[in-house]
Every structure is written in C-alpha cells, then in structure tokens.
Amino acid sequence: MKKIVFGICSLTVFFGCGGAPNVEPIKASPNVSSIAKPISFGEQDWPLWRGQHQNGLSPEQSAPLKWSETENVIWKSPVPGRGHSSPSIVGDDVFLTDADEKQETQSVICFDRTTGKQKWSTVVNSGGISKKHRKNSDASATPASDGHSVFTAFANHDRLQVVALDFDGNVIWDVDAGEFKSEHGYGSSPTFHENFVIVNGDSRGGGFIAALDRATGKIAWRNRRETTSRHGNYSTPVVATLAGKPQLIQQGYGRTVSYNPETGEEIWRVDGPSAVTANTVAFSDPYVIVSGGYSEKVTMCIQADGTGDVTDSHVKWSNSRNIAYVPSPIIADENVLVLSGEGILTSYNLQTGKRNWQERIGGNFSASPVRVGDYYYITNEEGLVTVFQAGEKYEKISENRLESAGGMATPAVSGNQLFIRTDSHLYCLGQAESVEPNGITLNHSN
C-alpha cells in the first residue's frame, strides 16, 4: 500500500496490512488505557457528519435564508479534486476529504475558516482506488474532529484505511482497519465514543464495525457484520444516549443493531429496514428512525430500550411509501421529516407514524436536510438549495443557486454561517459586511 504524505509524519502505524482481517471479534481489553485527550468542541463547531450530535440540528438560531453568487457570499475557495464529503468545522479550521481521480490520490484538505484560503493538503493514499457508483466519489466520508486531531476513512487497495492527522496536516497514525470489497465505493463517516473513533467497514459480501483508539490507532474492538445479500452497505454509525445508556446504532444488511460502544457487544437487533441502506439513522430518546433502501423500501420507528431480538416487540410503526434511501431523516418538534431521492418530502408524527403532510420538491436528492432555528435547508443534486419551514404545513421560504453547480454534499453550519460544497468549490455564506469605517473590507460578496 503506497502512501504519499506532504508534511512531516510524526508517527505512522499499520495494523494487519497485507493480511486478512480477523473474522472473530476482537474484544476490548479493560487493561488498556488510552492517552487520548478528552473530546472538546466549541459551541459553534460542526465537527462531525450531521453536526456535534449527528442529528442534523444546528445549535445556531439563524443562518442566511437567501443567497446567490453575488449575495451573502463571505468567501469562495476552489477545491482541487472531487469528493462528496461535507465540511467539518472546528475553531478556525474547515476540513474536507478530496480525491484526484486521474492521479488516484486521496487527501485531507484544511481551509482557513475566516478567509477561505487553503492552509494545507495532505495526500494519504496513492493508487488502489476502489470501483464506485457513478453518483459516489472516492472521498465521500466526512472527516471527524475531536477538537485536537482530524480523522477520516477511505476505501482503497481492497481495504478500509483510517487516518488521523494533526491540525497542521501531519499524519499521526494510519491504520488498515480491515478488508473492504467494493461494490459502489465507500459512503460512511467516522464517529466518536470516549477514547474511540468508530468506523463502519460494511462492504460487498460482509463487513465489520470497529473502534480504534484515537491516540494510537490501535483497534480496541472489531465485530464482524453478517450480510443478508451480496450487496454493500453505506450507512454511518451513530452513538447516542438512548434509554439511559450510550448505544452505537448501525443499520443495513437487513437489520438494525444496537452495540455497546465500549465493547462492541450487541444490545438489541431488529429485522429491517432493508438489505442496503445509505443514510444515517435519526434518533430522539428513546426512539430511532431507520429508513432504506434496496431492495426493501421501509421507514421504521424503533423503541431503543430492548435486549436481544426485539423485532416483534419494539417496532412502533413502519411504512413503505416515499422512503428515504440516501438522504437522512431528521427529527424536530416531535415530527420526523423523510426526504425521498425523488424529492418527496413527508412529515410524520414521531410516536404514532401518522402522516402530517407531504410535499413534492423539485429535483433529485442525495444530500440530507439540516435545520437551523426554525428553518430547514435541503440541497438537490443540481445544487439548488430550498429553505423552508415545517410546522403544521410546509412553507417554502426561498430557493437559492450558486454559480458552481452540484449538490451531493450536505451543508454544514457554524457561527450563523453556512458552508456549502459544490462540485468544484467550497463556499462560506453569511451576512456580508462590505466596508468597515476604517476602509478595510472584512467580509465581501464575490
């Protein structure tokens, strides 16, 4: 496995490179103590896929409701390659993953949050790029930051590569987490629990879920995940406190499973929603909303307080119309919003599953909804962003398009600003301030 790193590599570690992954679970050892620093986020940071709590809900109360190429653009910066990862924002840094398809390289890029200037780019892999679906990219995993380092995952050389970098772009560790047999590429993003960074290694014909020590990259535990078909799976794992305890929720392969994030041991499981899922579960204690996909098309609400197989006892409701396959569902105000890939937006009551309303939105969708204050933002694949309110009925506020097309990445929110990745650029959108009294332009519309 050839690696190219621009910058000083302080420590590079490989576990299991060139060999087959363990088929038996690697159990967590209570005698191993981590030196990982405590996870530390600022209130305005957006450090993970779907935000600090992985629920798509921003702690901000406002963000731009209208914009264009000449209105409310704070900065616009070119992104050299191609990728569908969303921005992760910690302090003054904005992180993206990126890939050069011609050179077959995969990279992590950091931009200055204030100016949009690229601060560094580190190539962490060269060659061995996995085959992928035409709608996927070689850099679809959103990087995750614990406030001290940035972590991401790439599929290459028929393996799942997990990398940690410092905020100067130096590689801290680089680990082969296990075998990855690509069908449509990789689509899952890392998440955290205490000292661990957790990754989903689901792929064609089987996979795994694993926890790595954030400080060293050492695999703390890894569990095999058995598939119900020959297809891959693309969902991001989520750690949430449900029914009074932390639970690691992973859907796909024909079942939804809750794991103990400390040990990887299974807590409960439910059959469904489908063999293939490509979005992230939504949750509101004690409920979990799952939705897929292929070949079964089902949205389900699960009460997450069971043990063992709770298929017959803990599925509160389900339906099979206008399901979300790639866009993730979102929960707010005791309602569930489900956006289908064909642009049908449906609101359900969280506890009963009763449909509140349904609206057809223009275009096809892969990005997920984000809520800021009372407003929702959804981006279609052409890059048109619709802003709306969703109470007792749907109310469209605006439609917004940028000159740089493409809307596969979900927007991020920080400091009352939106960060939008298109096919070729990264935008920071906010209330543009033209000229200060001293004549210095701080923020400007491009």
> Span 33-52, mean pLDDT?
92
- Which of the residue ranges 7-11, 83-87, 129-133, 148-152 would you say has the lowest mean pLDDT? 7-11
* For residue 439, pLDDT beyond 50: no
The DSSP 8-state label assigned to residue 411 in this structure reads P
Greater confidence (131 vs 363) lies with 363
- Kindly tell me the sign of the dihedral angle through the C-alpha atoms of 435, 438, 439, 442: negative
Pair 323, 298: CB distance under 8 Å? yes
Q: How confident is the model at residue 4 (pLDDT cuts 50, 70, 90)?
A: very low
Q: What is the mean predicted confidence (pLDDT) over 344-372?
A: 97
Do the beta carbons of residue 93 and residue 121 sit within 8 Å?
no
Cα–Cα distance between 398 and 349 in angstroms, integer?
25
Assign 318 to helix, strand or coil. Answer: strand
To the question of pTM greater than 0.85 for the whole model, the response is yes
Give the closest residue to 237 by CA, choosing from 222, 226, 252: 252
Residue 357 has what pLDDT? 97
- Which three-class secondary structure string do you get for 119-169? EEEEEEEECCECCCCCCCCCCCCCCEECCCEEEEEEEECCEEEEEEEECCC
Give residue 228's pLDDT.
78
How confident is the model over 201-257, as pLDDT tens digits? 999 978 999 999 999 999 999 999 988 788 989 999 999 999 999 999 999 999 999
**Does 334 score more than 80 pLDDT?**
yes
Q: For residues 213 and 109, is the Cβ–Cβ distance under 8 A?
A: no
Is the pLDDT higher at 9 or at 137? 137
**Listed residue (355, 279, 289, 336) closest to 316, CA to CA:** 289
Predicted confidence (pLDDT) per residue in 402-411, tens digit? 999 999 999 9
pLDDT digits (tens, 9 = 90+) for 48-83: 999 999 999 999 989 999 999 999 999 999 999 999
The rounded mean pLDDT for the chain is 89
Neighbours of 284 (CB within 10 A): 18
Among candidate residues 248, 259, 313, the one with its CA nearest the CA of residue 283: 248
23-27, 99-103, 286-290, 315-319: range with lowest mean pLDDT = 23-27
Pairing, β 266-271 against β 394-400: unpaired
pLDDT tens for residues 137-172?
889 999 999 999 999 999 999 999 999 999 999 999
Query: Token pair of 307, please?
Result: 């043990």
Strand partners, 281: none
Q: What is the pLDDT of residues 162-202, one digit of tens each?
A: 999 999 999 999 999 999 998 888 999 999 999 999 999 99
